[in-house]
Amino acid sequence: MGSISNTPSIFDLRSSLSSVAAPPKNGNAGGVQRSERPMAIDVKSNSKIVHGEAGYVLEDVPHLADYIPDLPTYPNPLQDNPAYSVVKQYFVNTDDTVAQKIVVHKSSPRGTHFRRAGPRQKVYFESDEVHACIVTCGGLCPGLNTVIREIVCGLAHMYGVTKILGIEGGYRGFYARNTVTLTPKSVNDIHKRGGTILGTSRGGHDTSKIVDSIQDRGINQVYILGGDGTQKGASVIFEEIQRRGLKVAVAGVPKAIDNDICLVIDKSFGFDTAVEEAQRAINAAHVEAGSVENGIGMVKLMGRYSGFIAMYATLASRDVDCCLIPESPFYLEGKGGLFEFVEKRLKENGHMVIVVAEGAGQELIAESMRSMDHEDASGNKLLLDVGLWLSQRIKDHFACKGKMPINLKYIDPTYMIRAIPANASDNVYCTLLAHSAIHGAMAGYTGFTVGPVNGRHAYIPFYRITETQNKVVITDRMWARLLSSTNQPSFLSLEDIEEAKKEDELIDNGKPHSSSIGGEAIW
């Protein structure tokens, strides 16, 4: 059996943090071995901000001890787990944090950090007292079943938990649907299937009823899988649980297949699978376009607000001639417009492939169809089908005035992509997310979501997940790489470029670059 390492961390928050405000009510706040110095607690936003030397800032997450005094602690069962006997160091240092911004200058302040994810020496739940539940909300995404499986197996195999419930049908399942008992045996092979074995839905969030159900069932750990709307709901559930003084840990696992959920985390699960599967549609469009005279293959990919899937699928494919995303406006008519570029490319190559994100060009078709202000049950804007609209506009353009005949094929693989199982990369990623959530809940943290920040998993407050959506920055070098790869026009006026630069400056002012995927800034 290995021994617990006493290797000191690079820095010790207990010696470096400075007091900036009075301590929170009920004394200690937010850690297994909490700082002896008081933390700055912003009660209004439910945030825990710790200031240290050299411009160090820790955006900490809530802890059960923040509002429940004198909670007992217990040794972490992992130290007696045979699977971990060869691990040199079972537990992360209590004071380990992860930097939000990794590229700095020598004179830069240390900047914003988040608490590092991982198992702690002490836990706030005994294994036989844990009664956990898992719920999936919102749209489908590759990897949902993997996260469910790994939460169940992680709780059972690492911490000896035996009582785990699945909430069926999303948030309303807490009070309107049956539950299902989850065991390692029952979830053994669900990662090989797409979708979610628990079912999902949009809306149905009744905070009081949900927390009543949690309280009545004796649930004390809640794992919530979903996008930004779901995480907002999880935040409200946590606040009600805190108001009632319940010993219930609420952990979120962020889901957004098109990677638009948050500026902080490197990427969301399911994104790699979506990009990989999108290649099949692009390849089919390329084959169709190249097999006929003046062939055009158009592929519509997911991306309501952010064009990450379209951008990365385009870069990975090398067969795309034009990529249109929500962040970069385009126009059809006139010099430098899309019609002119299509005609030019057909004359040069005899065929072309266009990739369009579902949220692109919405302002161009808003006048003809008045549904721009309609929303679904999750509050997402209902979009017009830009793929069908743009296909028809291109056909109409070339049909008039005796222009060249074209053959256009339109492919929409949206639900094929959403419904497939996760690929190898996403399966590994989902395992790490699930385990990070488990370790955090067992250690008493609550009101948090998990995700990699610069390649290291961290606990992130709910408000950071829901405050701003992640979008492609069209003044970034990655978008420039795409324009260079496709050789398409940017379609931007000088005013558009200046406006984009201003928005980019706001993003860089204390926040990470939004085109950061996979643990490092993309340059």
Instruction: Cite the active site residues.
Output: 258
Q: Is 80 annotated as a binding residue?
A: no
Pick the more confident residue, 4 or 389. Answer: 389
Give strand ranges (E) for 121-261: 122-123, 131-136, 163-167, 179-181, 221-226, 249-254
pLDDT reported for residue 512: 44
- Known binding residue 415? Answer is yes
Asked whether residue 230 is marked as a ligand-binding residue, the answer is: yes
Q: C-alpha angle with apex 413: 412 to 415, nearest 5 degrees? A: 115
How many whole angstroms separate alpha carbon 422 and alpha carbon 192?
Answer: 8
pLDDT score at 90: 82
Residue 203, annotated as binding a ligand: yes
Kindly indicate the confidence band of residue 363, based on its pLDDT and cuts at 50, 70 and 90.
Answer: confident
State phi, psi for 147 to the nearest 5 degrees.
-65, -45
What SS3 string covers 159-183?
A: HCCCEEEEECCCCCHHHHCCEEECC
pLDDT digits (tens, 9 = 90+) for 272-322: 999 999 999 999 999 999 999 999 999 999 998 899 999 999 999 999 999
How many CA atoms does the CB half-sphere of 513 hold within 13 Å?
A: 21
State the average pLDDT for the chain: 84
Nearest-CA neighbor of 214 among 238, 198, 231? 238
Does 417 count as an annotated binding residue? yes
Instruction: Annotate 98-137 with DSSP letters as a single string.
Output: EES-----TTS--EEEEEEPS--SEESS-GGG-EEEEEE-
Pairwise CA distance, residues 337 & 347, whole Å: 16
Burial group, residue 160, by CB count within 10 angstroms (0-12, 13-18, 19+): middle
Grade residue 370 by pLDDT with cuts at 50, 70 and 90. low
139 annotated as a binding-site residue: yes
Dihedral sign, Cα of residue 377, residue 380, residue 383, residue 387 = negative
229 is in an annotated binding site: yes
Residue 97's pLDDT is: 95
Is residue 369's pLDDT more than 80? no
Task: Please tell me whether 334 is known to bind a ligand.
Answer: no
Q: What is the pLDDT of residues 33-87, one digit of tens each?
A: 333 333 333 433 567 899 999 899 999 999 999 999 999 999 999 988 888 878 8
Cα dihedral 104→110→115→120 (10° resolution): 110
> CB 416: neighbour CB atoms within 10 A?
14
Query: How far is residue 309's CA from residue 258's CA, in Å, rounded to a whole number?
Result: 6
| Helical (H) or strand (E) element with 295 | strand 295-301
- Cβ 200 vs Cβ 138: under 8 Å: yes
Residue 117 has a CB neighbour count (10 Å cut-off) of: 28
- The model's pLDDT over 126-158, given as tens digits with 9 standing for 90+, comes to 999 999 999 999 999 999 999 999 999 999 999
List, in sequence order, every residue forming a beta bridge with 408; answer none if it has no partner: 296
How large is the average pLDDT for residues 208-237? Answer: 95
Global pTM? 0.83
Check whether 348 has a pLDDT greater than 80: yes
Confidence tier at 3 by pLDDT (50, 70, 90): very low
Q: Which residues contact residue 171 at a Cβ distance below 8 angstroms, ignoring those fewer than 6 apart?
A: 135, 137, 201, 203, 204, 205, 206, 210, 230, 233
Mean pLDDT computed over 16-29 = 36
In this structure, the strands spanning 322-324 and 295-301 are: unpaired
The response to whether 350 counts as a known ligand-binding position is no
Q: Give yes or no for residue 415 having a pLDDT over 80.
A: yes
Per-residue pLDDT at 515 exceeds 50: no
The predicted pLDDT at position 498 comes to 64
Per-residue pLDDT at 380 exceeds 60? no
385/453 Cα distance (integer angstroms): 34
pLDDT at 377: 54
For residue 402, say whether it is annotated as part of any ligand binding site: no
What CA–CA distance (Å, rounded) separates 448 from 350?
53
- Residue 8, pLDDT above cutoff 90: no
pLDDT for res 496:
62
Note whether 338 and 330 are within 8 A (CB).
yes
**C-alpha separations of 142 from 134, 267, 405, 425 in Å:** 17, 14, 40, 11
Residue 303, annotated as binding a ligand = yes
d(CA 453, CA 463): 16
**Binning pLDDT at 50, 70 and 90, where does residue 27 land?**
very low
Please spell the DSSP secondary structure of 41-94, one letter per residue: EETTTTEEEEEBGGGEEEEE--BGGGTSTT---EE-GGGG-GGGTT-S--S--T
- Tell me if 346 sits within 8 A of 353, measured CB to CB: no
Summarised one tens digit per residue, pLDDT across range 243-261 is 999 999 999 999 989 888 8
* CA-based nearest residue to 450, from 160, 177, 255: 255
Among 90-104, 286-300, 354-368, the minimum mean pLDDT is found in 354-368
